[in-house]
Amino acid sequence: EVQLVQSGAEVKKSGESLRISCKGSGYRFSDYWIEWVRQMPGKGLEWMGTIFPGDSQTIYSPSFQGQVTFSADKSVSTVYLQWSSLKASDTAMYYCARLVCSSPTCPREAHWFDPWGQGTLVTVSS
């Protein structure tokens, strides 16, 4: 079974650093982009960016560029989302998701997200 399992909920203070993880199993982890998606309390989904575990290539949404850092360790099939200095406005649920398509030659716009991790709730107090 293809699965993404995320690390547990975190409670931090403003200014602290944090790294959360997303571990894949059931497929060749290095071959698929992993997307990060934010969901603030009571709000919709926002795409943060993506990382390719095979070579750690990253693409950030302009809204999140410079605010977070993606990294990967393919030896343990895990990608990470990191903050160097958290803000109260970072309080949200964060999801990772695998980017898939029906053929290896699909253009990016023909892909979809499947599966999703269970989410990591990050709570930042001021």
Partner 1 sequence: QSVLTQPPSASATPGQRVTISCSGSSSNVGINAVNWYQQLPGTAPKVLIYSHNHRPSGVPDRFSGSKSGTSASLAISGLQSEDEADYYCAAWDDSLNGWVFGGGTRLTVL
Contact track, partner 1, 59-98, x by CB under 8 A? x-xx--------------------------------x-x-
Question: Which is closer to partner 1, CB of 80 or CB of 116?
Answer: 116
Mapped onto helix, strand or coil, the DSSP state of residue 30 is: helix
**Which phi and psi (to 5°) does residue 27 adopt?**
-160, 170
User: Cα–Cα distance between 58 and 56 in angstroms, integer?
Assistant: 6
Check residue 24 for interaction with partner 1 (CB under 8 A). no
User: How far, in Å, are 2, 5, 49, 57, 102 from residue 120 at the CA level?
Assistant: 19, 10, 16, 23, 28
Contact track, partner 1, 29-58, x by CB under 8 A? ------x-x------xxxx-x---------
Q: Among 13, 19, 28, 108, which residue interacts with partner 1 (rule: CB under 8 A)?
A: 108
User: Cα–Cα distance between 53 and 31 in angstroms, integer?
Assistant: 7
Question: Which is closer to partner 1, CB of 62 or CB of 66?
Answer: 62
Identify which of 21, 13, 16, 15 has the alpha carbon closest to the alpha carbon of residue 120: 21
Shortest distance (Å) from residue 71 CB to partner 1:
20
User: Cα–Cα distance between 44 and 107 in angstroms, integer?
Assistant: 26
Question: Which is closer to partner 1, CB of 15 or CB of 45?
Answer: 45
User: Binding residues for partner 1, per CB under 8 A?
Assistant: 35, 37, 44-47, 49, 59, 61-62, 95, 97, 102, 108-119
